[in-house]
């Protein structure tokens, strides 16, 4: 969370929210449980969950640091975060509500959509694209029934643009890259920096460039698949 002063406070937050998720998961196992029974509002819980995942991302991606982070030793127990409710079908239903909502409700529903995405392990990488759909595509539709097709069209356009940009920026063999990605999607096994990734790089690499370049390309490929493919099937 942005207002936490240091890593000690961040660690305390992670531990407390992790315990809160454990308790909430236990309560949800009872058939008569309702979110309204909790003293913590659903929106605030979603905000905390998003902040929790932000801290996880901070630890996972902060590979070039001057000193070790105390958060590295924390088990974030990501299995505590349910993903069975927040999926593309759920997001599409919220987008339909947003389209049909009166002006006073639109801000509330928009925030709910973006917060729900930010608090989900698979969909959080797609937040920027969903926000773009809301801002650029949704206002141009004639009715809510057009949302699924409009959503799919934008997603496919952005996916192709991102693929072409990756190929151009890193000077990659497009056909070989497509095969690597297709195999990743089909098998569920991430490609290896060597030999999978190094073989798609066309530009000559010096000895000192080889390691950093293949790692950078590997990270971009994984990010591409997580953003545009994983979690998209409704």
CATH of the domain at 58: 1.20.58
- For residue 50, give the nearest of 131, 125, 110, 132 by alpha carbon: 125
Peptide bond into 223 cis (omega under 30): no
Average of per-residue pLDDT values in the chain: 83
114 touches 130 (CB < 8 A): yes
Q: Do 154 and 51 fall into the same domain?
A: no
**Per-residue pLDDT for 81 more than 80?**
no
Query: What does the pLDDT read at residue 68?
Result: 67
22 touches 80 (CB < 8 A): yes
Is 0.75 surpassed by the pTM of this model? no
Query: What does the pLDDT read at residue 85?
Result: 45
Q: How far apart are the first and last CA of the chain?
A: 31
Query: What does the pLDDT read at residue 164?
Result: 97
What does the pLDDT average to over 106-115? Answer: 86
Residue 172 DSSP SS3: strand
Q: Flag whether 121 is in a domain.
A: yes
Query: What does the pLDDT read at residue 84?
Result: 42
91 touches 117 (CB < 8 A): yes
Q: Flag whether 210 is in a domain.
A: yes
Domains contained in the chain, number: 2
Q: Flag whether 27 is in a domain.
A: yes
User: According to DSSP H, which parts of 33-79 are helical?
Assistant: 42-61
> Would you place residue 234 in the very low, low, confident or very high pLDDT band (cuts 50, 70, 90)?
very low
Among 1-5, 60-64, 129-133, 210-214, name the one with the lowest average pLDDT: 60-64
Query: What does the pLDDT read at residue 103?
Result: 84
Count of beta carbons in the 10 Å neighbourhood of residue 21: 19
Q: Flag whether 1 is in a domain.
A: no
Domain that holds residue 109: 88-228
User: According to DSSP H, which parts of 62-173 are helical?
Assistant: 88-100, 103-118, 127-132, 147-170
Q: Do 109 and 216 fall into the same domain?
A: yes
Query: What does the pLDDT read at residue 22?
Result: 79
Q: Do 120 and 201 fall into the same domain?
A: yes
Query: What does the pLDDT read at residue 83?
Result: 45
Q: Do 124 and 223 fall into the same domain?
A: yes
d(CA 133, CA 154): 7
> Would you place residue 105 in the very low, low, confident or very high pLDDT band (cuts 50, 70, 90)?
confident
**Per-residue pLDDT for 174 more than 50?**
yes
- For residue 10, give the nearest of 65, 57, 66, 64 by alpha carbon: 57
What does the pLDDT average to over 117-133? Answer: 82
């Amino acid at each position: 969370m942005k207002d936490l002063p240091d890593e000690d406070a961040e660690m305390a937050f992670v531990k407390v929210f992790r315990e809160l998720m454990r308790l909430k998961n236990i309560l949800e196992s009872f058939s008569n449980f309702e979110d309204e029974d909790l003293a913590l509002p659903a929106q605030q819980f979603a905000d905390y969950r998003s902040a929790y995942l932000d801290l996880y991302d901070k630890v996972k991606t902060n590979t070039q640091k001057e000193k070790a982070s105390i958060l590295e030793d924390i088990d974030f127990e990501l299995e505590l975060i349910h993903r069975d409710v927040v999926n593309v079908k759920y997001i599409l239903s919220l987008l339909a509500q947003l389209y049909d909502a009166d002006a006073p409700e639109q801000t509330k529903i928009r925030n709910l959509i973006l917060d729900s995405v930010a608090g989900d392990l698979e969909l959080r990488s797609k937040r920027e694209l969903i926000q773009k759909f809301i801002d650029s595509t949704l206002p141009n539709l004639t009715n809510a029934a057009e949302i699924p097709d409009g959503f799919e069209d934008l997603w496919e356009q952005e996916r192709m643009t991102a693929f072409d940009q990756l190929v151009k920026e890193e000077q990659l063999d497009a056909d070989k890259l497509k095969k690597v990605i297709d195999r990743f999607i089909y098998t569920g096994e991430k490609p290896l920096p060597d030999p999978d990734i190094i073989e798609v790089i066309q530009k000559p690499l010096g000895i000192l460039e080889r390691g950093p370049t293949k790692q950078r390309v590997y990270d971009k490929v994984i990010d591409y698949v997580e953003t545009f493919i994983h979690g998209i099937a409704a």
